[in-house]
Amino acid sequence: MLSVVMLVVGAGVCSVALRSFRHPALFRAGTFGFVLTSFLAGWLIGGSVWTGLAFALTWFLLPWLLITWNYPFSYGLHQMPNTVLNRATGEKSIPDLIRMHRAFLEREGGAGICPMVESSLRSELQDDLRGQLEHNLACGILKRAGSSTICYTVRGMFFLWFQFLRDFVRFS
């Protein structure tokens, strides 16, 4: 029994190690390793292939635990038409974000499109989020649940679930 537990733990540690690499193929292998580790735990410790499949499939049902939230995060919503995103990973300072934004605009050929002024960044961000919320209300992803509350519709919950599955398969 101890060797079975060690095999499952070893597969889990290997998966975490693979996901720590920045190479896309190794990162994908680590993500697949989590599903495989869950299957091994169910099969070897639980004693049934069906239990292993149930454990592995929980990764695909995981987003439903997160969809009980009523606050719609910008990342999980439809983007407004003509929106191009430049995601910044990790923690960055405001000057770093502005520098990254300017470099992005230069790469995209639109250096004069959106000059950023640090003092107006907060109000611009709030306006963008407000516009995105209104767009998602109009698309049926969100609905008003009171005078100042917005929550996901059933369609919005399925949208979030498919977003998670797409990202899980794409490993972005």
Same-domain pairing of 116 and 56: no
Range of the domain at 29: 2-61
Q: How far apart are CA 160 and CA 64, in angstroms?
A: 9
Same-domain pairing of 97 and 144: yes
- Tell me the per-residue pLDDT of 131-144, one tens digit each, with 9 for 90 and over: 888 898 999 988 98
Which residue's entry shows tokens 């989020």? 129
Residue whose C-alpha is closest to residue 63's, from 159, 140, 160: 160
Range of lowest pLDDT (93-107, 108-122, 132-146): 108-122
- Mean pLDDT to the nearest integer, 139-155: 86
Same-domain pairing of 109 and 159: yes
Q: How many domains does the chain have?
A: 2
Q: How far apart are CA 114 and CA 105, in angstroms?
A: 8
Structural domain includes residue 7: yes
